[in-house]
Structure 1
Amino acid sequence: MSSDPSKYDFETLKVTQTKKFVTQVELNRPNKLNAMNNVFWSEMRTCFQQLNSDSDCRVIVLSGAGRVFTAGLDLADMGKIGVKKSELDPARKAFATRENVALYQETFNLIEKCTKPVIAAIHNACIGGGIDMTSACDIRYGTQDSFFQIKEVDIGVVADVGTLQRLPKIVGNDSLVRELTYTARRFYSEEAKEMGFISRIFPDKDSMIAGAIETAELIASKSPVAVQGSKVSLVYSRDHSVREGLEHVAMWNYGLLDSQDLIKAALADSEKKTPKPSKM
């Protein structure tokens, strides 16, 4: 890991450096199907904030331990919050709920804000909050047996942690997103790939993790300032006009065009060698 591995000591996550500059973040509640409990939300925020500033990390692979990627929200654990709120009057209960939702939203916003590309490696079930989480990732891979479900209408709530905002922009099919949201039906890996939610399907979990790490290694071998600048620009441009996106990337590139990586790349090209980018 990095120079200080103790900072990645979590209860619900297992963080390891699988290859140079490649960090694997594994949801680590296999006995609970990696359901997202209260501790998970806090630890995910801390984890991605730390990874964002960790120079030993250039790419992140997000996976799940055990039989499934994630069963989504841990409803039993969430119920504990409801019990505490029951003592509040309606106005204060509304304020508390709003604060909690904002924290959950920020948890997955931090995946998107993290300048390091995040590859989601999804096997078997990816339900509810799993769609919210992986929608915030840069690249999504699945296994032959993976399936997905926007589950919230089945439990009487509106998906409020990113699916309804990000998924339509990812797949570009408003009718299909509404169908999946309103019906809560499962969609499987082939359909997920066809709609553009995942980009590759692997026979099983082991081959998928290996494939994700291989992609991560390739990305990690590139100029980190260029890769991270590209992620920032892609996220910005998604939410702004073409003109605004062009202005943003031009401002961003003012500094990048003076990077040592560009000089090294030019020299390596002239010498027919592979460039070796500098550290961040």
Structure 2
Amino acid sequence: MTGMTQPDAAPSAAALTGLESLQVRLDGPVAEVTLLGPGKGNAMGPDFWRELPLVFATLDADPVVRAVVLTGSGKHFSYGLDLPAMMGTWAPLLGGDALAGPRTGLHGEVRRLQAAVSSIAECRKPVIAAVSGWCIGGGVDVITAADIRLASAEATFSVREVKVAIVADIGSLQRLASIVGEGHVRELALTGKDVDAARAERIGLVNDVYPDQDAVLARARELAAEIAANPPLVVQGTKQVLSVNTERQVAEGLRYVAAWNSAFLPSKDLQEAVQAFVERRAPEFRGE
């Protein structure tokens, strides 16, 4: 009939083209999302933080997609935050004064990055992270928002923020406790140490370890297909019911750390960390 409003077509993952930091490939009911960078080691710059929530909102809404594999291009999953690329946005928010305007802007920026990572956890389709090489800082934030984590034997993990004078604020501190336990979270977050795949498996950060990158990606695809073969609404319901156990605690923790960092993140130690990174030297922190 003419004059009647037609319902909007369901969002399609097939339309996710032309992205700068992510690539989406469909294989039947399984979507494969690959981190592309464009920074070295798939470092997470402005394009990543803009595109990640768009991608996962689309995958959530696409009725064809039943499971998602998340992996990195090249040898590494991700070096984490692309600090030099992000400083153009952050520099005005990290000034030495304590005015409310910059602090409010910083709070909003932290919440924006948190929401980008949370889009993975909020996607109703189960997400399997296949990790090879380095998975640092923001990379750990991302995989802790996934449902299942697998690693290759050479994978290395680090909650590195403490090393650069930042309280991790995008999800790792809120989600890791339910994955690896409180004691392991505190050790990882307070030391910023590197953890190899064998230790990651022992503490439960990853479910299984495979010989190499090809093997872990193959297993992630198999597991996604196995999940996708089950009744989709029941799978989504199961994920949502499981998430109820922790989602309120995670949300409260994210709100708290955003407020904490908007008040205390700007520091001489942070400036020193950035300068040392640029100059490729060890930082000298003074607690200022």
* Cα shift readout 1:77-122 (whole Å, capped 9, x = no counterpart): 1111133436897211000000000011111111111100000000
Q: Which residue of 2 aligns with 1:44?
A: 52
> Which one of 129, 135, 150 corresponds to residue 126 of structure 1?
135
Could you list the per-position Cα deviations for residues 139-190 of structure 1 after superposition, in whole angstroms to 9, with x for gaps in the alignment?
0000000010010011001000011111011112x22211111111101111
Equivalent residue number for residue 115 of structure 2: 106
Does 1:117 pair with 2:126? yes
Structure 1 equivalent of residue 193 of structure 2: 185
Distance of 2:118 and 2:210 partners within structure 1: 27
Unaligned runs of 5+ in 2: 1-10, 250-288
The residue number in structure 1 matching 2:183 is 175
Q: For each residue in 1:33-68, what CA deviation from the matched residue of structure 2 results, as whole angstroms up to 9, or x when unmatched?
A: 100001100100100011100111110000000121
> Equivalent of 1:72, from 77, 80, 100?
80
Aligned to 1:62: 70
C-alpha distance 167-232 of structure 1, shift in aligned 2 (>3 A): same
Q: Secondary structure at the match of 2:90?
A: helix
Tell me the TM-score normalized by structure 2: 0.79
* Secondary structure, aligned partner of 2:154: coil
* 1:176-221 Cα shifts (integer Å, max 9, x gaps): 2111111111011111111111001111111111110001001000
Structure 1: which amino acid aligns with 2:23? K
Shift of the 232–4 alpha-carbon distance from structure 1 to 2, 3 Å rule, reads closer
Find the aligned partners of 1:7 and 1:224 in 2 and give their Cα distance: 22
Q: 1:21 aligns with which of 20, 29, 39?
A: 29
Q: How does 1:229-244 map to 2 (within 5 A)?
A: 229-239=237-247
How far 1:32 moved relative to its partner? 1.4
Structure 1 counterpart of 2:244, which letter?
A: Y
What is the aligned length?
A: 238
Q: Specify whether residues 48 and 150 from structure 1 end up closer, same or farther in structure 2 by C-alpha distance, changes over 3 A only.
A: same
Asked if the contact 2:39/2:45 (under 8 Å) is kept, the reply is no
Determine if contact 1:30/1:66 at 8 Å carries over to the other structure. no
| From 163, 169, 174, the counterpart of 1:165 | 174
CA RMSD of aligned residues (A): 1.9
- Among 216, 219, 223, the alignment partner of 1:211 is 219
> What amino acid maps onto 1:154 in structure 2?
K
SS at match of 1:148: strand
The aligned counterpart of 2:262 is none
Change (3 A) 1:112 1:27: same
Amino-acid identity (%): 36
Do the aligned partners of 1:14 and 1:26 also contact (CA within 8 Å) in 2? yes
Residues 110 and 149 of structure 1: CA distance in aligned 2, closer, same or farther (over 3 Å) = same
- How many Å separate the matches in 2 of 1:240 and 1:85? 29
- Going from structure 1 to structure 2, the CA distance change for 1:57 and 1:9 (only over 3 Å counts) comes to farther
Moved over 4 A (4+): 86-89
The answer (yes or no) to whether the contact 1:23–1:57 under 8 Å persists in 2 is yes
Contact 2:90 2:106 in 1 (8 A): no
Answering whether residue 43 of structure 2 is matched by residue 35 of structure 1, we say yes
In 2 relative to 1, CA 4–72 (structure 1 residues): closer, same or farther, beyond 3 Å?
closer
In structure 2, the CA distance between the partners of 1:138 and 1:4, relative to structure 1 (3 Å rule), is: closer
Letter matched to residue 128 of structure 1: G
Counterpart CA distance in 2 for 1:3 and 1:111 is 17
1:123–1:143 CA contact under 8 A, matched in 2: yes
Given the superposition, is the C-alpha separation of residues 154 and 3 from structure 1 closer, same or farther in structure 2, using an over 3 Å criterion? closer
* 2:229 equivalent to 1:221: yes
Q: Which amino acid aligns with 2:131?
A: I
In structure 2, distance between residues paired with 1:138 and 1:203: 22
